[in-house]
Amino acid sequence: MKTPTIARARLFAIALATAAGLVGMASTAPAAAQAAAAQAAAQGPRPIDIEDMFLMRDVGAPVVSPDGDWIAYTVGRTSLEDERSYTRVYRVSAEGGEPLGLTAEGKPAGSPGWSPDGRYFTFTAARDGGETQVWALDRRGGEAFALTDVEQGISGYRWSPDGTRLLLTIRDPEEEDADRKDNAPRDPWVIDRLQFKRDNVGYLTGNRRTHLYVYDLASKALRQLTSGRW
């Protein structure tokens, strides 16, 4: 019976994914990082330095497949060579074992998920210079393909129970950019708040919000559910 397996997998999803990520660090880290870690271990206890920080991995976002057999999760790292952060998605058996990379090294991806029927593994990524979209990978094999094509990209997603739609969170485009296609100078922004800027967001001009949309996978139709300045 699958029920005990599913219950057990869901109960221990976070622990299993974390353990798998820690076990998989040695196999997923670059060869130079593995050598540095081995050398550090051979030297015995010493103060932590900046290179040690770059050897650390951040494991998170575990999600169990519908059949309870697999757990997908993310492993984040920061590269000392190019001073950039990368997140890669892995899969591991709910019973434990060797993790398998589902997305390519050096191509950031996140938000792992599964289609309700378990056929597709999904994730978010910005590829080929485009905005962040939802991508799918058939568990039977083949290349990943984009499920969405939203002009300003998406912030998050959830599957509908029947697998025909996606609930998307999408940030509104800047009001100026909606009708502005050339490189004409911008009007100056008026700063009227104490916190006027935020990492990964930029200047907080007050004219952009994130809202909920329903995306029909068959028709590619996008329907907005929420609106307003909130």
Q: What's the confidence (pLDDT) of residue 24?
A: 47
**Structural domains of the chain, count:** 1
pLDDT band at residue 172 using 50, 70 and 90 as cut-offs? confident
- Dihedrals phi, psi of 85, to nearest 5 degrees: -100, 140
Which pLDDT tens digit goes with each residue over 201-230? 666 665 667 899 999 999 999 999 998 766
Residue range 96-121: mean pLDDT, rounded: 89
Residue 96 lies in a domain: yes
What strands, in cross-sheet order, belong to the sheet with 120-125? 110-114, 120-125, 133-138, 145-146
pLDDT at 154: 93
Residues pairing with 59 in the sheet: 75
Give the lowest-confidence range in 70-74, 81-85, 137-141.
Answer: 81-85
Judged against a pLDDT cut of 50, whether residue 25 lies above it is answered with: no
Confidence of residue 167 (pLDDT cuts 50, 70, 90): very high
Reference 171, options 205, 131, 211; nearest CA is 211
pLDDT of residue 124: 94
CA distance 90 to 141: 15
**Do the domain assignments include residue 141?**
no
Residue 20 has pLDDT above 50, yes or no: no
| Average pLDDT of the chain, as a whole number | 79
Structure tokens belonging to residue 69:
């057999």
pLDDT at residue number 66 = 94
In a domain, 34, yes or no: yes
* Strands (E) located in the chain: 58-64, 70-78, 85-93, 100-101, 110-114, 120-125, 133-138, 145-146, 156-159, 165-171, 197-198, 202-203, 210-216, 222-224
2 in a structural domain? yes
Tell me if 137 is assigned to some domain.
no
**CA nearest 111: which of 121, 96, 100?**
121
- Mean pLDDT score, 17-43: 55
Q: Is residue 18 part of a domain?
A: yes
Residue 138 lies in a domain: no
Distance separating alpha carbons of residues 183 and 109, to the nearest angstrom = 31
Q: Which domain holds residue 77?
A: 1-114
Position with higher pLDDT, 6 vs 172 = 172
Q: What is the pLDDT of residue 50?
A: 80
Q: Is the pTM of this model over 0.75?
A: no
What percent of the chain has pLDDT above 90? 37
Residue owning tokens 């911008």 = 186
Reported for 98-103, long-range contacts at CB under 8 A and 24+ positions apart, including other chains, are 98/24, 98/27, 99/20, 99/21, 99/23, 99/24, 99/27, 99/28, 101/28, 102/72, 102/137, 103/144
* Residue 28: band (very low, low, confident or very high) from pLDDT cuts 50, 70, 90: very low
Q: Which of 41, 71, 72 is nearest to 55 (CA)?
A: 41
Residue 160 belongs to a domain: no
